[in-house]
Amino acid sequence: GQQVMQIPQYQHVQEGEDFTTYCNSSTTLSNIQWYKQRPGGHPVFLIQLVKSGEVKKQKRLTFQFGEAKKNSSLHITATQTTDVGTYFCAGPGGANNLFFGTGTRLTVIP
Amino acid sequence: DSGVTQTPKHLITATGQRVTLRCSPRSGDLSVYWYQQSLDQGLQFLIHYYNGEERAKGNILERFSAQQFPDLHSELNLSSLELGDSALYFCASSAGQGWQPQHFGDGTRLSIL
């Protein structure tokens, strides 16, 4: 079945350091979504990637979709304490639903 | 504020009981999705409704059922509750009938004692 794994599971960084989370799928994805969930909060949609090799930026966040459309990454430059949370990738599962990855929990140390 | 309203915020009940979780989607959104988030399972898709009709079903137990009403609000019914049903239940909505939820509610935290 559909599997979307994220690494690392946890990441602690010093404020100002960069952070990257990787998402790997066992199957080719037609597209991929990224969400952020703050501690105690709900998932917030960040972006959707559709094209092979696509790169999108949102301020300090850079999202990439692999050439083979089986992996994706989210890179945050110069982390801030407001970046704390769990970052999920999500891709289409079977039967028209969204399959969430395992998530990477980011802690930023001031 | 996502515009998605879920009630109640917290629910504590006992095994074997039945509860109903309610969701009002963001104004103008026709799709409602339900997700279960537990510590060891992450975010699991349960079910998706679009304009009153079921569009997709995920890992939803037979003890669980849902519906979307003409006014577009949705209810998730959980019956014969077990300890393992303790989780955060999120409702999400989107304008279209695709399977990508855009806006999540704050969730209902269900605790089974």
- Per-residue pLDDT tens for B76-90? 999 999 999 999 999
* Residues on chain A bordering chain B, Cβ-to-Cβ distance under 8 angstroms: 33, 41-45, 48, 88, 90, 92-93, 95-103
Q: Are B20 and B13 in contact (CB under 8 A)?
A: no
* Tokens 């999202």 sit on residue: A63
CA-wise closest residue to B25 among B95, B70, B73, B66: B73
CB-nearest partner of B106 from A42, A90, A103: A42
Which chain A residues are within 8 Å of B103, Cβ to Cβ?
Answer: 45
Lowest-confidence region among A5-9, A89-93, A106-110, B69-73: A89-93
pLDDT band at B96 (very low <50, low <70, confident <90, very high): confident
Q: Are A98 and A92 in contact (CB under 8 A)?
A: yes
Beta bridge pairs of residue B13: B112
pLDDT band at B34 (very low <50, low <70, confident <90, very high): very high
- Residue B109 CB partners (closer than 8 Å, separation 6+): B9, B10, B11, B87, B88, B89
CA-wise closest residue to B86 among B69, B66, B59, B109: B109
Q: Over range A29-55, report the average pLDDT.
A: 94
How much is the pLDDT for A41? Answer: 93
Alpha-carbon distance B94 to nearest alpha carbon in chain A (angstroms): 11
Output the CA torsion sign for B41, A88, A1, B35: positive
Assess whether pLDDT exceeds 60 at residue A33: yes
CB-nearest partner of B107 from A42, A88, A95: A42
pLDDT band at B37 (very low <50, low <70, confident <90, very high): very high
Burial degree of B78 (CB within 10 A; 0-12, 13-18, 19+): buried
How much is the pLDDT for A96? Answer: 65
Assess whether pLDDT exceeds 80 at residue A95: no
pLDDT band at B59 (very low <50, low <70, confident <90, very high): confident
Q: Over range A52-77, report the average pLDDT.
A: 97
Query: By the CB < 8 Å criterion, does B90 face chain A?
Result: yes
pLDDT band at A108 (very low <50, low <70, confident <90, very high): very high
Lowest-confidence region among A8-22, B40-54, B56-70, B77-91: B40-54
Cα–Cα distance between B73 and B85 in angstroms, integer? 23
How much is the pLDDT for B40? Answer: 65
pLDDT band at B99 (very low <50, low <70, confident <90, very high): confident
Residue B22: CB atoms within 10 Å: 15
In a mutational test of the B interface, the residue from A88, A96, A104 whose CB has the highest number of chain B CBs within 10 Å is: A96
